[in-house]
Amino acid sequence: MPTARPTARVTASGTPATGSPSGPADTSSAGASASTSPTGGASPAGRPLAGRTVLLDPGHNPGNAAHATEINRQVDIGNSHKECDTTGTETDAGYSEAAYTLDVSHRIRDILQGLGATVVLTQDGDRPWGPCVTERAAIGNSAHADAAISVHGDGGPASGSGFHVILPAKVVAGVADNAAIVDPSRRLGLLVRQKFQAATGEPYADYIADQGLDTRSDLGGLNLSTVPKVFIECGNMRNAGDAKRMTDPQWRQRAAQGIADALTAHLTTPAG
């Protein structure tokens, strides 16, 4: 659910979430947080992302609700302190944001690996809680990712629907200095907005004013990133229409394709 807004307009997920009764069993392999694309057999033309690294950050963790002490610990995001992580939201039927984000991230990973990319996940259902937002940023930085995206579902007002992309505001304070990635992140964000809408038909969020874009200075995953990074709130899980779409495996595949298309365009099209 939306949180108090500091220096920029804020929307965020918030209500506790467990389980995924509406979603299908995930067929992707789980385990290691880093996956390297296979080599050999395909022509360079069929592997346009060979040699590129993408960081996928599935928002939240199904175990967070059982680890309140750990996730409520305050961490330094440069211009303030905030919780290590949150529980995320869920649909009225109990399909959790954490289940949604991991499923979609697996689908994106499969597409990108097929194009030759090395894909790193901040978590792959392989840890009991977290990681903290500071570690989520650090994983992408350490991987020297060429692009990074944090996948979420929003917990907005039930009357609101649609998706939006969150861009980093420039934050140079304390341990944070993301000045170098603000412009390339905006370019990535515009591509995500375009390709996600083309793939899913989802409208821009009608409870966010700026045509599906929200620039924020209160997210550690963006403040602390040294690689181009955006968040996507793929829909409002508290809205009945969005929830119905987000619990549909075929729609989730289209969502993954749109995000993968945006990352591919960002990494293969010269800036300018």
End-to-end CA distance of the chain: 36
Q: Which residues of the chain have pLDDT under 70?
A: 1-44
According to the model, what pLDDT value does residue 33 have? 42
Q: What CATH class is the domain 48-268? A: alpha beta
According to the model, what pLDDT value does residue 271 have? 84
User: Cα(41)–Cα(118) distance, rounded to whole angstroms?
Assistant: 16
According to the model, what pLDDT value does residue 24 have? 41
- Closest to 99 measured CA to CA, from 108, 107, 109, 90: 90
Tell me the pLDDT tens digit for each residue of 11-25. 333 333 333 333 444
User: Cα(26)–Cα(38) distance, rounded to whole angstroms?
Assistant: 21
According to the model, what pLDDT value does residue 44 have? 62
Domain ranges of the chain: 48-268
Catalytic residues: 233
According to the model, what pLDDT value does residue 38 have? 37
